[in-house]
Amino acid sequence: MDKERDLLKNDLENQKTPEETKKSVEDAEILGYEDIAEFRKKKLGEIEFMADEISKTSESKISQVNEFGGSSEELEHRTSEVDEKIEEVTENAQNEVGEVEKPSENIQQNEVVKVEEAIEGEQNLDTSGNQKESNLEKKGIKDGVDFVFEQNPGLEKIGTKKQYSEYLDSIFPDSKVKDIVYHYSSLGEKIKEEGFKSAVELRSKIAGLDKDALYFTKSPIVYWGGGAVDLYRVCTLLNIKNPLDFSSYTENDSFETLSEEDKNRAKKYEELLNKAHYEENGLNDIYEKSKYFTKLLKDEGYDSVLQPNLSEIEIFDKQNIYTLGNNQDLENFKKFVEKT
Amino acid sequence: MISQEQAKKIEEIYNEAINKLKKLDKERKGIVSNYIKELESQKIDAIRASILLDNK
């Protein structure tokens, strides 16, 4: 408890400037993952800590009161009104922050369902919402290629969608995830041309990242933010050889209904998560804990984590990401077409 | 996942709460100091009274 207090005190002493806060948010955007619940928790934790601290009377003041014949009860009585106001400030902040997050919470609860619907939807509709070509016509064209072509008209001048699909299959032939997956970010266009950066490079200290990873999804829509979030969709292929794989889990699964193998996998994840984030390990900073959690997963041989229905793919090494539609991709596709 | 607007809003609520708490901290410390001053002067008065009583 003392340690937690020290940590929070340290945070308070190092309050971020608006510029630093903005940078943290941008860093998180680049990573493509930011947990509002953790961010909220951190901020409310700081408010609660400060409220708790200022509601106390220091030992030296209490000694002075006793020395001059006063009583703690009287002191309490005199400060009670201010203490109530302090409590009120904390409660109001909790309520107000809760209001900000409300829509996201609802969305989080339905997240997996929405991703399933979105993925299912893409199989029937093209990016403009029209019925796709028949299955026969579409044969040999990878899901998501329509969108990549729409986003990058230069591809059409080089080859057909079928050729592009064949080319994509040649990029990471041994990957366990062959689908086109997406990374959403307000800085997506920049990422597409300049490449991804890891959390270590960004030195992002924003709370909520439990791993030093880059985040992707199979969902073709931004399913969080109640539809109000307008982010650029970066299309990618990932080289995933040994994932900690929860992708087959469904929303109806509980620990009891899992197979023995799945139970062991879930236990392993839990064990490493606890070791890095919740048990005493000498690390005080969430950023350091996240790096440690990733190291533990890597030491076990994992290169990524696949969440249910590929709603989220967390990949540790940016070398295993191939971005579609940028100059390099166009160049490589051209070479592929020329060869075949 | 959140948008920058949500993070910004939380930051604003946080800053407002911290500013209010800082003011209340000053107010509370003032109440405690005043109480101590009050007790101190009561004690001085009591000492004065007892000295006067001794001198009578």
Mean pLDDT to the nearest integer, A273-293? 84
ipTM at complex level: 0.86
Q: Are A148 and A155 in contact (CB under 8 A)?
A: yes
**Interface contact B2-A225, CB threshold 8 A:** yes
Using CB atoms and an 8 Å cut-off, which of residues 171-210 of chain A contact chain B? 184, 186
Statement: residue B10 has pLDDT above 60: yes
SS3 sequence of chain B: CCCHHHHHHHHHHHHHHHHHHHHHHHHHHHHHHHHHHHHHHHHHHHHHHHHHHHHC
Which of the given ranges, A190-204, A223-237, B14-28, has the highest pLDDT on average?
B14-28
Using CB atoms and an 8 Å cut-off, which of residues 27-66 of chain A contact chain B? 29, 32-36, 39-40, 43, 46-47, 50-51, 54-55, 57, 61, 64-65
Query: Residues A26-55, buried b or exposed e (16+ Cβ, 10 A)?
Result: bbbbbbbbbbbeebbebbbebbebbbeebb
Q: Are A333 and A161 in contact (CB under 8 A)?
A: no
Statement: residue A138 has pLDDT above 70: no
Mean pLDDT to the nearest integer, A39-50? 80
Six-digit token string for B27: 């107010």
pTM tops 0.90 = no
Q: Mutual orientation of helices B4-55 and A72-109 as an angle, nearest 10°?
A: 170
pLDDT tier for residue A161 given thresholds of 50, 70 and 90: very high
Contact residues, chain A, for B10 at CB < 8 Å: 36, 39-40, 43, 97, 100-101
Six-digit token string for A225: 């933010």
